[in-house]
Amino acid sequence: MNRRVRSVINDLSTSWEVEPTDELREDARGDALVDQLCYIGATLRDRVRDALHIGVKRAMAVVCSGFSYDMEVVSHGFVTDISKTDAKNEARLHALIDDVEAPGERLAKLFEPEVLPPETSSGGGEGSEDRAVG
């Protein structure tokens, strides 16, 4: 089990270019493995946050490139209609999100190379990609 955990940790570290906190020795067990996983988790959280910020900024740049919007207004999020109820504004928000699902997916794919590491096979076994976040 420890060998498999070390293999997965090494695969994650390699694919996400995360420097190990210290060399994972063949005899590393328990706390050393947990520490490495915690370090990788914190590092990946930072990278996901950075990717979110990159994505939002790129999307705003795309909007600016072809449309005339006040980006200061856009930066505050969805604009609600004060003459409508919260439920109606919520329904409008969900309709807008549904409308941009397919085009948003296309746009996101354009920026994937900037924020995702190349795919590698992990020691997670068959179907592990279905459990991956993202």
In the predicted model, what is the mean pLDDT of the chain?
A: 78
User: For the chain, which residues make up each domain, given as ranges?
Assistant: 2-117
Rg (CA), the chain: 21
Q: In the prediction, which pLDDT does 81 show?
A: 83
Q: Is the predicted pLDDT of residue 87 greater than 90, yes or no?
A: yes
Q: Residues near 53 by Cβ (< 8 Å), separated by ≥ 6? A: none
More confident residue, 126 or 57: 57
Joined tokens for residue 133: 């976040």
Question: What confidence score (pLDDT) does residue 91 get?
Answer: 92
Instruction: Give the position of tokens 């999100």.
Output: 97
Burial per residue of 102-114, b for 16 or more beta-carbon CB atoms within 10 angstroms, e otherwise: eeeeeeeeebeee
Q: Which one, of 41, 17, 14, 36, lies nearest residue 25 by Cα?
A: 36
Question: Which of residues 130 and 41 earns the better pLDDT score?
Answer: 41
DSSP-derived secondary structure letter, 20: P
Kindly tell me if the per-residue pLDDT of 126 is higher than 60. Answer: no
pTM equals 0.55
Q: Is the pLDDT of residue 57 over 70?
A: yes
Q: Return the higher-pLDDT residue of 60 and 88.
A: 88
Q: What percent of the chain has pLDDT over 70?
A: 79
Asked if pLDDT for residue 8 goes beyond 90, the answer is no
How many angstroms separate the CA atoms of 121 and 128, rounded? 9
